[in-house]
A and B are shown apart, each in its own frame.
Chain A
Amino acid sequence: MKISLNWLRRYVDVDWDADEIARRLTLVGLEVDGVHRIEADFTGVRVGKVQAVRPHPGADRLQIAQVDTGDAVLDVVCGAPNCRAGLTVAYAGLGARLPGGFKIKKAKIRGEISLGMLCSEDELGLSDASEGILELPDDLPAGQPLEQALPIEDVVFDLGITANRGDCLSHLGVARELAALAGVPLRWPDTTLPATTPGDAVPVTIADPDRCARYVGRVVRGLGVAPSPLWMQRLLSAVGVRPINNLVDVTNFVLFEYGQPLHAFDLRDLEGPAIVVRTAEAGERMTTLDDVERTLTADDLVICDAARPVALAGVMGGQNSEVKDDTRDVLLESAWFEPTTVRLTSRRLGLRSESSHRFERSVDPERTVEAANRALHLMCALSAPGTSPQVVEALTDARPRVVARPQVAYEPDHCTRLLGVELPVARQREALERLGFSLEGPAAGPWTVQTPSWRNDVDEAADLVEEVARYVGYAVIPTPPPRVTARTGTDAGYARSRRLRRARELLNGRGFHQALNYSFLGKGLQAHFTPEAPLELLNPLSDDQRALRMLLAPRLVENAAHNLRHGAFGVRLFEVGRVFLPRGEGVQPSEVERLGVVWSGPATDHWQGGPRAVDFFDLKGLLVDLCATLGRPAPALQPADCAWLHPGAAATVHLEGRSLGVAGELHPRLARTLDLGARLFVAELDLDPLVGHAAPAPRFVDFGRFPAVTRDLALRLSRSVLAAQVLSSIEDLALGYVDSVRVFDVYEGGSLGADERSLGLRVTYRASDRTLTDDDVAAAHGRLVDHLRDAFSAQLR
């Protein structure tokens, strides 16, 4: 919210300059996000007095004004219709500079010398448009620089008012805080009514006292609509409000002055005239001031006259009764609406106003009448020349209930206990009293603290501690070194995070960058990967952020496509994050932490040998190493049926009997659909089996000190026999002396049949207690070969 320093100074006198005020406000909890200075964009403009006016001999529309400029009386040619003798004007002398760099020089206008210029508001940069020259108050002395005579210079503070401090959404509210800080009195505005007239008050019926605790209505008659005076326009402009006319401006002005939203009805348009505050009927319609027809629900509160809704309570007035240029009689509304109802209506209709903003945060229920009278005072004072408005004597103050003001039990010790510093009791009392709280009880406490009517945010002792703390300043609280106590027991969460970090580091070491994706994506994209229905956001930012992810792969594939599209030679990305697996309507989903990997482009690339494209076995090797680095055995990969992977290059990944996920080449069809333009290898694994628990510490096994003997054999096999079948059958055979079996060659084609391949195995034999003899090896190897022949119809090549 914008707060003008000139405006603040109407209510409080403090010695602090703008920067100091900003600092103090920030440190008391009203954060100043910015300080903007408004400065006069002209020089050499002074107050002048038009002593006489004579017609220009050479032009009908021009006059020659004789102007007292303080040190001389000069002739100035002027074309403004309102230029007349006796007027106090803004005179730009020779050498003066106006906004836009326009410089005033001696000029001859249609044969007559003009020594300067009489300025309008827009020529001075004070408003966007103006009729005629600026008419200044007559009490200003001739020759006074205009920037001194007029409130042009100002400082505007951008305040970030927190949601609990509705009372500070006004200049008086902020001034009240400043006054409390400085220990100076607050100057309340003039609310006297110049003239009242007898007459009947407009009857007010509150049919929904829960949602409207107070409704003040008062009539003023005989107003004349005119522009507001410059000072008011300046202040409103400073806080970002466009001046319109004296009636509208006054209601805005008092809103920014008291924080009390007001509404002015044109009395002519009110049926009755009478006011009824009631719950809207479902489906009821009304057109608000912004020309939009609104359909209401029973959650909304409406202000009606005898026949129909005339305002949406606390949010916006109705078009049918708004003040117009010829409005003379006004019913002014000043009310207290229940915050939640205003908030719900405003939110449902997407209609936020200065008014709703304040009612939502609660306005002071005890200043309803005062704010109304302030507005009436100003309306009367600023009414068009020649009018003599009169406020109707009778005022309606419908108040079906009193808004509760909590009393809080408080002991000065609360402060010590919560803040960790002992503040003198007298200082605590001073803080609370200055901030408007009244204390009952012994001097040393405990106290019963009555909260002020404008503070709806205080109802606990802790709230009062904060009041005291912010008043004395948080800097008063000591800053001791951290107390650290040894933990007992392990921090399983941290241990897990360290293991995960180890996995990430391995991937980094292999050239993989860590990606971070949104947790939601388009339903269409995800549907390419899983037929299952995802959880959906009810209010996504866009359609491609609607579905909660059930896999990491879709976004990662998209990332790969993005990088390839932008000229990357290869893609190596991984992501660690949760996926959301639905468990039924309205039930929290199962959140599973996954690791996703995408790999495209060269696996290796060097000037010696050139690039080698990544293939499935690069990916598989990576996964095996990942398990190894986490102290897990090698995972088992088996051919898989996975819709989004290449049917011939897809595998399930199992670790210690648990399924980890899948790995393989992205289905070429999907690669085409997603416009990938390259082969992509993808893995998606559950992380919990990998990092969820610590691997057992390694146990040393003595390595064989006796020499090993290796035997190679090449088996001619049916292609349907998987390498893993051969290897595990050798393991199951449990031959003595077999130290390891390694695939060292795979051969297809040539003399082999189309459904055949040759598998080269290197078997290492070793005994732990002696050097094997040729006979030992021959016997074992013979059994192995026989077994493979029998089990797989393998032929030795």
Chain B
Amino acid sequence: MTDALAALRARLDDLLVQARAVAAGVDRDADLNEGKARFLGRKGAFGPVMRELGSLDHAQRPAAGALINESKQAIEALFAEARARIEQKALDAALEAGRIDVTLPGRRTAPGATHPVQAVLDELIDLLVELGFALADGPEVETEHYNFDQLNMPASHPARDMQDTFYLQGDLLLRTQTSPVQIRAMENTQPPVRIIAPGKVFRCDADVTHSPTFHQIEGLWVDRDVTMADLKGVLSYFLRRLFGADRGVRFRPSFFPFTEPSVEVDVEFGDGWMEVLGAGMVHPRVLRNVGFDPAEVQGFAFGLGVDRLAMVRYGISDIRYLFENDQRFLAQFARGR
């Protein structure tokens, strides 16, 4: 190595030492830029060095150039490092400033609740629609004709007393059951008729387990060959979907004026049985009343009290809670299913 080169190296080493001190000392962007310019800028320390390069022998120039580049890169790296340090510090400060108490309450709208009766209704409807029943509807203010007569409950029938009826002027009443929808559906359709009719029903009775307004869901399937075995099949499947696949389901004889044979259906519950629905084969007189020939078509109907089911499902002790609309009650059902 020639002296000239040795001298250059010494100068470059000296610059590196100076730059290291500068880069280590800066802690603001502006200082950093200024410091960096002092070495690498147009008027920086490398200017004179570059000029000296021109005074070197041609043979020495490549080696000298390499030395200079090496030195420049080292200094650039020093300032890049310093920049990263400054940026990190700024970021740290910003992050610290942005520190919050994540345990404070969030800004929210507490979800509202579907009424427990509605929740059960929705579930029943979905299940029965899945089983091929279509949704049907009828008026809540009914006539004696649809609510009683057509359902094989003539005025003299003691079964009319089973249902304490709210009467209005004329032959109008608040329907005591969703069964009149059966009649309306059969009057309007030719078999097969396969419908459910959810809705409000009314009886003038009020205590811990009776409400003057409550909800039923009615089902009807009439076709050429619908048997009581179908009734058992559909209702067992339906109830097991509702209460659990391992639940016992029991069918026992009962009486409804509009079905024959009639059944009441119990589901295993605790140590015993809980009655959940009434059903039966549509009474031949009901079929005749709507112009169907019982020798040609037959089928089954069922009706289920929704409110009581909701009470059992949610452990509600008094039916009056259902209609009080106290938010302390309702809010408990806001959880999704």
Question: Does B95 interact with chain A (Cβ within 8 Å)?
Answer: no
**Contact pick for A538, options B139, B168, B325, B327, CB 8 Å:** B168
Whether a CB of chain B sits under 8 angstroms from the CB of A504 is: yes
Pairs A-B, 9 closest by C-beta atoms: A420-B227, A586-B170, A493-B135, A420-B229, A29-B253, A466-B261, A162-B255, A470-B253, A340-B156
Minimal Cβ-Cβ distance residue in B for A421: B229
Q: For the complex, what is the distance from the CA of A591 to the CA of B252, rounded to whole Å?
A: 37
Is B325 a contact partner of A515 (Cβ separation < 8 A)?
yes
A28 to B261 Cα, complex, angstroms: 12
State whether the Cβ of A91 lies closer than 8 Å to any Cβ in chain B: no
B326 CB contacts on chain A under 8 angstroms? 562-563, 566
Known: A463-B260, A480-B233. A539 touches B204 (CB 8 A): yes
Q: Decide if A485 is an interface residue (CB 8 Å cutoff).
A: yes
Contact yes or no, B233 A479, CB < 8 A: yes
Which of A121-129, A384-392, A567-575 lies at the interface with chain B? A567-575
List the B residue with the shortest CB-CB distance to A470: B253
Q: When chains A and B are docked, how far (Å) is the Cα of A478 from the Cα of B233?
A: 8
Interface flags for B200-240 (1: CB within 8 Å of A; 0: not) read 10101010000011000000000000011110111011100
The answer to whether A535 and B112 touch across the interface, beta carbons within 8 angstroms, is: no
Q: Taking CB as reference atom, which chain B residue is nearest A609?
A: B107
Tell me if A693 is interfacial: C-beta within 8 Å of chain B: no
Q: How far is the CA of A702 from the CA of B294 in the complex (A)?
A: 60
- For chain B, give the interface size range: 35 or more
**Of residues 574 to 589 in A, which have CB atoms within 8 Å of B's CB atoms?**
574, 577-578, 580, 585-589
User: Given the complex of chains A and B, what is the CA–CA distance between A357 and B137 in angstroms?
Assistant: 36
Closest B residue to A536 using CB positions: B168
Q: Are B158 and A343 in contact (CB under 8 A)?
A: yes
For A460, the chain B residues whose CB sits under 8 A away are 260, 284-285
Instruction: Please name 8 pairs of A and B residues whose Cβ atoms are closer than 8 Å in the assembled complex, sorted by A.
Output: A420-B227, A480-B230, A513-B113, A571-B327, A574-B112, A585-B169, A586-B169, A586-B171
Residues of the B chain whose Cβ atoms lie less than 8 Å from the Cβ of A162 = 254-255
- Chain B residues within 8 Å of A465, by CB: 260-261
Chain A, 495-521, CB within 8 A of any chain B CB? 496-497, 501, 504, 507-520
A568, B323: Cα distance in complex, Å: 17
Known: A163-B255, A494-B125, A511-B110. A487 touches B134 (CB 8 A): yes
Number of A positions contacting B (CB below 8 A) = 93
Q: Report chain B residues within 8 Å CB of A475.
A: 251
Q: Are B328 and A514 in contact (CB under 8 A)?
A: no
- Contacting residues, chain A, for B139 (C-beta < 8 A): 588, 591
A703 at the interface (CB under 8 A from B): no
- Interface residue ranges, B against A (CB under 8 Å): 104-105, 107, 109-115, 117-118, 122, 125, 129, 131-132, 134-137, 139-143, 155-159, 161-162, 166-172, 174, 200, 202, 204, 206, 212-213, 227-230, 232-234, 236-238, 251-255, 260-264, 281, 283-285, 294, 298, 322-328, 330-331, 334
B228 touches A419 (CB 8 A): yes
Which stretch, A185-193, A212-220, A256-264, A540-548, touches the partner chain B?
A540-548
| 471-498 of chain A: CB within 8 A of chain B | 474-475, 477-487, 491, 493-494, 496-497
A360 CB–B CB distance under 8 Å: yes
A462: Cβ under 8 A from any B Cβ: yes
Known contacts A513-B327, A541-B204; A481/B169 CB under 8 A? no
Decide: A518 near B323, CB < 8 A? Known: A493-B135, A540-B166: yes
A27, A514, A518, A563: the one contacting B113 at CB < 8 Å is A514
Contacting residues, chain A, for B255 (C-beta < 8 A): 29, 162-165
Residues on A with beta carbons closer than 8 Å to the beta carbon of B227: 417-420
Is the beta-carbon distance between A519 and B167 smaller than 8 angstroms? no
Contact A563 B327 (CB under 8 A): yes
Given the complex, which residues of A lie within 8 Å of B142, measured CB to CB? 588
> Judging by beta carbons under 8 Å apart, are B167 and A538 in contact?
yes
Q: A516-B118, A585-B169 are in contact. Are A511 and B112 (CB under 8 A)?
A: yes
For A354, the chain B residues whose CB sits under 8 A away are: none
Residues of B within 8 A of A700 (CB): none
Within 8 Å of chain B (Cβ to Cβ): is A294? no
Check A539–B167 contact: CB distance below 8 A: yes
When chains A and B are docked, how far (Å) is the Cα of A533 from the Cα of B324?
A: 26
Q: Which residues in B have their C-beta under 8 angstroms from that of A563?
A: 325-327
Whether A517 contacts B140 by the Cβ 8 Å rule is no
Q: Does chain B have a CB within 8 A of A469?
A: yes
Would A361 and B158 be within 8 Å (CB), given that A29-B255, A563-B326 are in contact?
yes
A470-B253, A487-B134 known, 5 other contacts, Cβ within 8 Å: A31-B254, A417-B298, A510-B109, A513-B331, A516-B115
Whether the pair A462, B284 counts as a contact (CB closer than 8 A) is yes
Which B residues touch A340, using CB under 8 A?
155-156
In Å, the complex CA distance between A539 and B294 comes to 38
Asked if A339 is at the interface (CB within 8 A of a chain B CB), the reply is yes
Q: A462 vs B83: C-alpha distance in the bound complex, in angstroms?
A: 96
A469-B253, A497-B135, A514-B112 as given contacts; A585 in contact with B325, CB under 8 Å: no
Which residue of A is nearest B197, CB measured? Answer: A493
* CB of A505 to closest CB in B, whole Å: 8
User: CA separation between A162 and B31, bound complex, in Å?
Assistant: 100
